[in-house]
Chain A
Amino acid sequence: MGTGRTLHVRCATWEQVDVFHTRKLRRGKLLSMKVPFQTEIGAEVTLGLELPNQVVVAIEGVVQNASPIDGDTKTWIEVELTGFTEDVLARIRVMAATAAMAAVPATRKPAPAAAQRRATTAHQEEELPADERQLFQQLTAELRRMRGLAVHDVLGVGRAADADEVRRGWMELVRQHHPDLVARHRAPAITHLAEELTILCNRAYDRLRAAMVAEGRATVVGSVLRSPPGWLVGFEDIASVDAAAVRAALVEPASVSGRHRADTPPPPTAHGGDAFELRARAMLGDGDSNNAQEVLAAALCVYPRSRALRSLYYVASAIGALEKGEVMLATSQLETALAHNEQCSDAVVLLEHIRKHGDSNPDQVRSLFR
């Protein structure tokens, strides 16, 4: 016999408890469920109803209906909970009420306080408990909604949002939810919810800030997020296809025709800085590294995100240093170039050149660009 079989039903929240006895039970006593064992009509079972406060209520029942499913391993049963008396129900209701009191003391408590407030000023009616309860529900819903969102969506910004947009989005949310601003709703439950919401917003903001800083799209000062002060901080584009073009340019002397010959189609993502780059390369070939640097700096004002231009700027600066015989400085400039664009073959070639020859002869350097 199935005597002593215990079914366990776990309710994580009081709403679930409510649902259990209002909707799950038919005619107040009948429970239908699938169980992983075989049983027969008339067998006695015990239902262990675990409440959110970890209390387990044992309810006696008798199987009224049983039909095997899944090849005799499981049974669909209908149990009449004979032990689910009014008494048990009342006990559960008391516990639910106690728990609700503990979680939301304000929604029930403030009757005398409200009366006092009403006596003092008329326009404080917004603080009436009914309103607080409504606010509480509203905040709970908002918290539940935001918990499931990605950081961008929490702040309500797009994935490509810039520093200002992210900051504005965050500020708007914080202005709405900061516990300080809802502090006049003295109910601890509301302050707590507001704090949870603010924590959520702050975390989303911090995560997003960290990501943007890592990408070089922003700098962080205290709580403030700023757009990068100049082009040197930007890393977010990848000039992967450009590398091929750059290599081609190195192999074949820099001239417009050499770069975009009719038989080789121009690289699909060639950035708009091509003209600048070619001019700069030509100048480097002539040994005019100073002017090349100027040209590249100007180009970077227009195309601040081009890695190819950025690395070439450092290469030009390194060549300038080499001309003055400052090999150490040149090396560090070349390494910076590689940090900005690891596929910068100019920097690789020059670094190898320096390593081989120790010092360097400007003519040889120039020859690399001719």
Chain B
Amino acid sequence: MKRTRSPSRSSTGHAIGIDLGTSNSVVAIIDPDGAPRILTTAEGSTLLPSLVWFGPGKPVVGEAAREGLDDSPDVTIFGAKRLLGRRFDHPEIRRLAKILPYQLIEAPNGDTWISLSAGRSVSPEEVCALVLRELRLMAETHLGEPVTRAVITIPAWYDAAQRQATKDAAQIAGLTVLRLLSEPTAAAFGHGAHRGTDRKYLVCDLGGGTFDVAVVDLEGGVFEVLATTGDPFLGGDDVDRAVVEHLLRDVRQVKGLDISTDPIAIERLRLASQRAKHELSSAAATRLHVAELVQLPSGKGAEYGRPIRRDELELWSAPLIRRLEAPIRGALERSGRKPQDVQDVLLVGGMTRMPAVRREVTRITGREPSVIANPEEVVAVGAALEVARLEGVIEGVLLIDVAARGLSVSASGGDCELVIAQSAVVPTREHRVFATRHQDQPTIEFDVWEGESPDPAQNRHLGRYAAVDLPAAPAGDVLVLVEITLDTDGTVRLGASELVSGDRLQLEQLYHAGLARAEVTRLARQHAEAS
């Protein structure tokens, strides 16, 4: 591993590394001397809250949008990353729809969107795009030059639709994605790139919304992900909610108030518990305080405060902490490792500052986790190093990834047929041949699914496509070769050609998950004009 050149200052603009988080996002760049640097917000924090307040004026992003949480939680969107590229009928989205203070609706193609007010809705891609744009502006302010490209980190378990949605969000924000990098790989890269020794990592990433585990090997400059597992709905937000539930009971007992149906009061309580949770990472006890929880009928505000101890917090969050064990054991089992084979346990994500989390991971792995000074930022550092790697500043390092899920295709409503198996090394390409069934058939339709089951209902529908303008010929004489490419980002590309002549065929998208290409372009232009 050696650094050979200073980052290229090409006219195409700078590239940045972005950790797009559920609750906080981080942006990092590579300094001219080759060292990664975390950029700070106008408030001086390295973390930009992934919050967008669709207030009366322009959407407000970041720390300033916290005001919106207090003021109008129904139009202040947090955790949009959890909704990105998800179908509305997903059970977890159903669950989230019940507990989130803002309203989720179903888009015409079955995706999850957010309803802001009657007749006004916004896609999670746009919300994430606003956060990404804010990060881009932070970098532009620091560099004084335009930023056009980015490496963005994503959870390892993201499916193709979620990956595409992330890319779309970036495009709307005016960023070309150099690479989608899985978060655990980024963490291992950010932590281990400069250490240069072969190591076997177990990365546990517990952030605001998701828990990811990965077994990552670094051998001879090659980072390989052996296995990933995770719990996409376990994170700091869930701990906050568990605390709020206990506090609601406490408020009822102490104050005689039932605020469980008051979204504003709940949001204020959530913010106060979040603060208390952060303080309890270092202190054994603190005081939780909400200046004005609700307005009493008399017009006076009701204050609420209580001391809170670390053991209380740990007791309340114990059911959540217990959920750490299964993914960790699963990842070790799938990689064929025993806990003692792991050489380095990395704890990443803000939630790993909680002593109970460290204790639990130590108990499961039988090994004291490595101390990372900046668990929230190491992923962004990895992303920035990836930028340097792709630009050729860091040489001799290779990141190898595999398909997170299999890809299948089906024609005319038949069974799905596996085309690319899970754990195939990306980039890869496979093909299937479809034949016409009628004389002069003008089009051939087929579906692409993510998943390995022959039953379409078990798989995620990525899209329905049609090869059009087929030459006129008797039934079965026209053979269409469909090539499915899974690229290094884990996103899917399709191509079709006529098998005999080799002519390219036009592919039409009849249905697809996520935003339409034209829609992404339109939004990108709109956002570019707005800024």
User: Which residues of A does B touch, CB under 8 Å?
Assistant: 12, 54, 113, 116, 120-121, 124, 171, 174-175, 178-181, 183-184, 186, 195, 198-199, 202-203, 205-206, 210, 219-224, 226, 229
A223 near B402 (CB under 8 angstroms)? yes
User: Does B217 count as interface, using CB distance less than 8 angstroms?
Assistant: yes
A221 near B398 (CB under 8 angstroms)? no
A178 near B423 (CB under 8 angstroms)? no
Q: Which residues of B contact A222 (CB under 8 A)?
A: 215, 224-227, 335, 402, 423
B398 near A124 (CB under 8 angstroms)? no
Task: Show 23 A/B contacts (Cβ-Cβ < 8 Å), sorted by A.
Answer: A12-B502, A124-B5, A171-B222, A179-B488, A180-B390, A180-B399, A180-B488, A184-B391, A195-B427, A202-B428, A203-B429, A206-B421, A221-B226, A221-B227, A221-B336, A222-B224, A222-B225, A222-B402, A222-B423, A223-B224, A223-B401, A223-B423, A224-B226
Q: Which residues of A contact B6 (CB under 8 A)?
A: 121
Kindly state the separation between the CA atoms of A203 and B428 in the bound complex, as whole angstroms: 6
A229 contacts which of B9, B336, B402 (Cβ < 8 Å)?
B336
Kindly state the separation between the CA atoms of A195 and B217 in the bound complex, as whole angstroms: 23
Bitwise interface map of B from 318 to 340 toward A, beta carbon under 8 Å scored 1, else 0: 00000000000000001110000
CB B183 to nearest CB in A, in angstroms, measures: 16
Q: Which residues of A contact B227 (CB under 8 A)?
A: 221-222
User: Which residues of B does A touch, CB under 8 Å?
Assistant: 5-6, 8-11, 215, 217, 222, 224-227, 334-336, 389-392, 395, 398-402, 421, 423-430, 485, 487-488, 502-503
Q: Which residues of A contact B335 (CB under 8 A)?
A: 221-222
Among A171, A206, A219, A224: residue with most chain B CB under 10 A: A224
Among B215, B425, B427: residue with most chain A CB under 10 A: B425
Given A120-B9, A202-B428, A206-B421: 9 more A-B contacts, CB < 8 Å? A54-B503, A181-B395, A199-B485, A202-B425, A202-B427, A203-B430, A221-B227, A223-B226, A223-B423
B426 near A202 (CB under 8 angstroms)? yes
Assuming the contacts A175-B398, A183-B391, A184-B392, asked whether A198 and B427 have C-beta atoms less than 8 A apart, the reply is yes
B400 near A174 (CB under 8 angstroms)? yes
CB A84 to nearest CB in B, in angstroms, measures: 26
Q: Which residues of A contact B334 (CB under 8 A)?
A: 221
CB B279 to nearest CB in A, in angstroms, measures: 39
What 3 A-B pairs have minimum CB-CB distances, sorted nearest first? A184-B392, A222-B226, A202-B425
Assuming the contacts A120-B9, A180-B488, A183-B392, asked whether A174 and B398 have C-beta atoms less than 8 A apart, the reply is yes
Q: Which residues of B contact A202 (CB under 8 A)?
A: 424-428
CB A88 to nearest CB in B, in angstroms, measures: 25
Q: Which residues of A contact B392 (CB under 8 A)?
A: 183-184
Q: Which residues of A contact B488 (CB under 8 A)?
A: 179-180, 195
Q: Which residues of A contact B430 (CB under 8 A)?
A: 203
Q: Which residues of B contact A121 (CB under 8 A)?
A: 5-6
CB B407 to nearest CB in A, in angstroms, measures: 13
Assuming the contacts A203-B429, A224-B224, A226-B336, asked whether A181 and B5 have C-beta atoms less than 8 A apart, the reply is no
Kindly state the separation between the CA atoms of A195 and B427 in the bound complex, as whole angstroms: 7
Kindly state the separation between the CA atoms of A186 and B10 in the bound complex, as whole angstroms: 11
CB A229 to nearest CB in B, in angstroms, measures: 7
Q: Which residues of B contact A205 (CB under 8 A)?
A: 425
CB A77 to nearest CB in B, in angstroms, measures: 27
B428 near A206 (CB under 8 angstroms)? yes
Q: Which residues of B contact A226 (CB under 8 A)?
A: 336
Kindly state the separation between the CA atoms of A220 and B336 in the bound complex, as whole angstroms: 10
Q: Which residues of B contact A224 (CB under 8 A)?
A: 217, 224, 226
Kindly state the separation between the CA atoms of A220 and B485 in the bound complex, as whole angstroms: 22
Kindly state the separation between the CA atoms of A206 and B426 in the bound complex, as whole angstroms: 10
Kindly state the separation between the CA atoms of A180 and B429 in the bound complex, as whole angstroms: 18
Among B6, B217, B423: residue with most chain A CB under 10 A: B423
CB A180 to nearest CB in B, in angstroms, measures: 6
Q: Who on chain B is nearest to A222 by CB?
A: B226
A219 near B485 (CB under 8 angstroms)? no
Kindly state the separation between the CA atoms of A355 and B47 in the bound complex, as whole angstroms: 69
Kindly state the separation between the CA atoms of A219 and B336 in the bound complex, as whole angstroms: 10
Q: Which residues of A contact B11 (CB under 8 A)?
A: 113, 116
CB B471 to nearest CB in A, in angstroms, measures: 13
A199 contacts which of B224, B398, B427 (Cβ < 8 Å)?
B427
Assuming the contacts A184-B391, A223-B401, A224-B226, asked whether A199 and B428 have C-beta atoms less than 8 A apart, the reply is yes
Kindly state the separation between the CA atoms of A183 and B15 in the bound complex, as whole angstroms: 14
Q: Which residues of B contact A199 (CB under 8 A)?
A: 427-429, 485
Q: Who on chain B is nearest to A194 by CB?
A: B427
A206 near B425 (CB under 8 angstroms)? yes
CB A11 to nearest CB in B, in angstroms, measures: 13
Kindly state the separation between the CA atoms of A292 and B425 in the bound complex, as whole angstroms: 44
A220 contacts which of B10, B390, B398, B423 (Cβ < 8 Å)?
B423
Kindly state the separation between the CA atoms of A278 and B10 in the bound complex, as whole angstroms: 75
CB A271 to nearest CB in B, in angstroms, measures: 29
Q: Who on chain A is nearest to B225 by CB?
A: A222
Q: Which residues of A contact B424 (CB under 8 A)?
A: 202, 206
Kindly state the separation between the CA atoms of A223 and B427 in the bound complex, as whole angstroms: 12
Kindly state the separation between the CA atoms of A211 and B389 in the bound complex, as whole angstroms: 34
Kindly state the separation between the CA atoms of A202 and B399 in the bound complex, as whole angstroms: 14
Kindly state the separation between the CA atoms of A174 and B401 in the bound complex, as whole angstroms: 12
Kindly state the separation between the CA atoms of A184 and B392 in the bound complex, as whole angstroms: 5
CB B491 to nearest CB in A, in angstroms, measures: 13
A223 near B421 (CB under 8 angstroms)? no
Q: Which residues of B contact A120 (CB under 8 A)?
A: 9
Kindly state the separation between the CA atoms of A220 and B433 in the bound complex, as whole angstroms: 28
A210 near B390 (CB under 8 angstroms)? no
Q: Which residues of B contact A203 (CB under 8 A)?
A: 428-430
Q: Which residues of A contact B425 (CB under 8 A)?
A: 202, 205-206, 223
CB A351 to nearest CB in B, in angstroms, measures: 32
A210 near B336 (CB under 8 angstroms)? no
A223 near B225 (CB under 8 angstroms)? yes
Kindly state the separation between the CA atoms of A206 and B521 in the bound complex, as whole angstroms: 36
Kindly state the separation between the CA atoms of A236 and B310 in the bound complex, as whole angstroms: 58
A181 near B226 (CB under 8 angstroms)? no
Kindly state the separation between the CA atoms of A183 and B399 in the bound complex, as whole angstroms: 14
